[in-house]
Chain A
Amino acid sequence: MERADEKRFRILVCIDGSEESYRGLRYAARLGGGVDADICLLYVRPVDQGLRSGGLQARVVRENLLEWGLELPGTKHLMKGKEILTELGLMSDEWGQKMIHVDKLGDPLGDNSIEYSSEGGKKVTLKLEVAPDIVGGILEECEGGNYDLLIIGASERWNSRSYKTFWDPAVAQKVVTRAHCSVIVARELESGHGHLICTDGTENAIDVARKDAILAARCNCPISLITVVPEDVGETEAADILSRTKSAIEEEGLEVVESLLRTGDPVEGIAKAGADYSVIVIGRSKKRRRWWLFETDISDQILERASNSVMIVR
């Protein structure tokens, strides 16, 4: 595993060839536009179990494809990602490049990456990795590469709210639950509509708001705040929550363009108000609950309910 330069802002974008993943990449390009940020595009290929391809190793098929001059699906998706970054002016064909191959899990194709770097030290890396399962591969890269932010496209299944999502969660759902860094789950992700930061006035929520405000400033995204309180909570108390969060952000020299106060069910309120923004931002609860098996974090419920992108800040 490579050692990350701790001062640099590192974004990991999961690419699976879907339009959602490329939207996530475009957003990453805005967030990681500065010279102090690196972007890594990751495609994870699950290792073949053998039985599925009838006992003939999948590598035989892949090698045959390569001999016909046809690249593997992951390569195609990653190269499209590179083209998008070039079109956006984030990288150019003149950048230096370094190829790295690592044998892994007995797979001859193993892990492959191409690292493009500018003279100023900015890096864009394309990674085609093999892992026992896709989620494991993403998480391994996320932890090993010490990323600040992970962007992954949402699965359609997530919104279906079927029992299956509990028993067999979609890839993005599993990644959100287990990732150690902040995660953006991309749904119709478009920049320009700003970040809506959720706050309940706790130290954790204020910290999350501060962190995201700094991130939003990277792409000049307008920052808005929202708090949703129960009916019986006084307006003064709710206004105080917003005011404390706003002050914390302003201490960083950043501006809050609007503050929304809603009453009622927080999940419903946030999902409804958040539909007009690029991203709804919420922190992951730090509390270790005794009834973790039966209760879900509010951030999970918002992820499920929201129709647009959600960022979970850790």
Chain B
Amino acid sequence: MEHNSSGSLTRAAMATGQRTLNKGWRRISAIPLRAWLSYLLARRWLFVAAAVGVILLQLPTPAGLTHEGHIVLVMSVVATILFVTEPIPLPTVALLIIVGEVLLIGLDSSDVARSLMSDSVLFIMGSLMIAVAVVRQKLDRRLAFLIIRFTGTKTANVCMGISLVSGVLASFIGEHTVAAMMLPVGVTLIRLTSEDSRQVRSLAAVLLFSISYGASIAGVGTPSGGARNAIMIGYWREFFYDPANPETWKYAIDYLRWMVFAYPLFLIQVPFVTAVLFYTFKPKQKNIARAVVRLRAQLADQGPMKISDWTTILIFFAILLSWIFLSDGIGLGTVAIFGAAAFLIFGLVEWDEINNGVNWGVVLLYAAVISLGVEMKDTGAALWVAENFLALLKPLGGDSGLGLWAAVIALTTTVTNTMSNGAAVAVLGPIVLNLAVAAGEDPLILGFLTAVASAFAYLTVVGTPACTIVYSSGYLRTTDFLKAGWKMVIVSTILSLIAASAYWPLVV
């Protein structure tokens, strides 16, 4: 009886299961073909990336590469496809990298977790929190007042003033912060000139690109200018620095040393930005006196500086001085985190504002990409790619000196125009540094060239955060980036090569 009852229960359960399955199948088959097609089209790059990954993993491991190195390389290729095409939310790529490191490479889960957090990641996290805090202080109005007070009303002077101020600020607090602060200044000047956007198209282009390109060229000025700088500093330390070997101490690049290398390059580029923009867009408004006078009137009634304004400036300089004098000992990341904490302690920003203003998924993404970069070095994959890349360059005369430098700039410029500059440095850093070793070049020079060239993302809207932010104003077309961008790439490449051959050897 018991058996019978159990048997009928099993049959009933099976029948229920069958019915559920049938129902499920009916539902699936009821979905129109068009919806399936839409889903497949929207996710096509995910399938392409997965297919590329599976195919590459099935191929025999190339000579000179370890099995783990093979897997890391395949993971990097798949991650790059997903970065560029974005078929899934980008933080998902970070999650897949973490899972891949444990399941495919066979790393211990705790080791992977440890590799995700480094000083570079702390720095990225801290500087984003500082960015939100600084934007919230509304110092942009005072900055705008300062710019137009000194530049006068000539359009070219205003643009150069905007580029210079955006650049100087961006070199310390990141281009995204500056672009967010300066965009309203640019848009207000445009709107005060004319409400008809067709009348001010060229003027809008020169003003807005002065912000974005000014901030982009300055992003490499100091280590705190962008995540890419902190990532490169982290790679130099990870790959070459040995506390017991004094010969490797030069690879522990501190804040001031970085500035000595990169800051002059930023300053030299500022007048070129204005020249290129005016040559490209030729705005008919040579003087924007009307807009400047009206903006001045708008900004004049701000009243005296408040205590919160002074506190903000004080904290900002405290952070800056700590980066310069203390970061060598306690790390850039610790200073950034402490700076963010200071803004919270003095009540200048609420935690909710920081929490809502920072995209934490990006922090996770950088952490995962840096972790993958370290694995590329540990498994020898980076060296293998570097040696093969060098072999490709040899017949073209690009295996050393100026040819190699130009090839590295071209490679970085291509990659950075398709993904964020931080991700570009995180992906290319291990390869380029190994390339330097294989070619007998100085890893500092090639590392700096990579970091500097990662700012040459002038060609696309998504190239740099500053470009994305100014594009959101609605005044620019995607083709405008190409029009001015290719000229900027040429100017920046020439100036970087001059710096690498004539200036950097003097300060290495």
Contacts and interface: CB of A to CB of B under 8 A. Distances in A.
B175 A65 contact: no
Interface stretch (B179-187, B309-317, B383-391): B179-187
Interface residues of B, number: 49
Contact of B469 (A53, A177, A288): A53
Nearest to B464: A54
Given A53-B468, A56-B180, A64-B184, A292 B33 contact: yes
Nearest to B353: A60
Interface in B300-335: none
Contacts of B90: 49-51
B188 interface: yes
A61 B208 CA distance: 14
Contact of B187 (A48, A70, A288): A70
Contact of B473 (A48, A52, A73, A288): A73
B382 interface: no
A65 B187 contact: yes
Which residue among A48, A58, A67 has the maximum number of chain B CB atoms within 10 Å of its CB?
A58
Contacts of A64: 135, 140, 180-181, 183-184
Contacts of A58: 468-469, 472
Given A61-B472, A177-B34, A54 B357 contact: no
Contact of B474 (A50, A56, A73): A73
A177 B33 CA distance: 12
B465 A53 contact: yes
By secondary structure, the B interface counts as helix
A60 B177 CA distance: 9
Nearest to B359: A50
A185 B307 CA distance: 57
Contacts of A288: 33
A193 interface: no
Interface in B275-307: none
A17 B38 CA distance: 26
Contacts of A17: 474
Interface string A34-77: 00000000000000111111111111111011011010111011
18 contacts: A48-B359, A50-B90, A50-B359, A50-B362, A52-B462, A53-B359, A54-B362, A54-B420, A55-B227, A56-B135, A56-B359, A57-B357, A60-B131, A61-B180, A62-B472, A64-B135, A108-B356, A292-B37
Interface of A: 17, 48-62, 64-65, 67-68, 70, 72-74, 76-77, 108, 133, 136, 174, 177-178, 288, 292
Interface of B: 33-34, 37-38, 41-42, 86, 89-90, 124, 128, 131-132, 135, 138, 140, 174-177, 179-181, 183-184, 187-188, 191, 226-227, 356-359, 361-363, 365, 420, 422-423, 462, 464-465, 468-469, 472-474
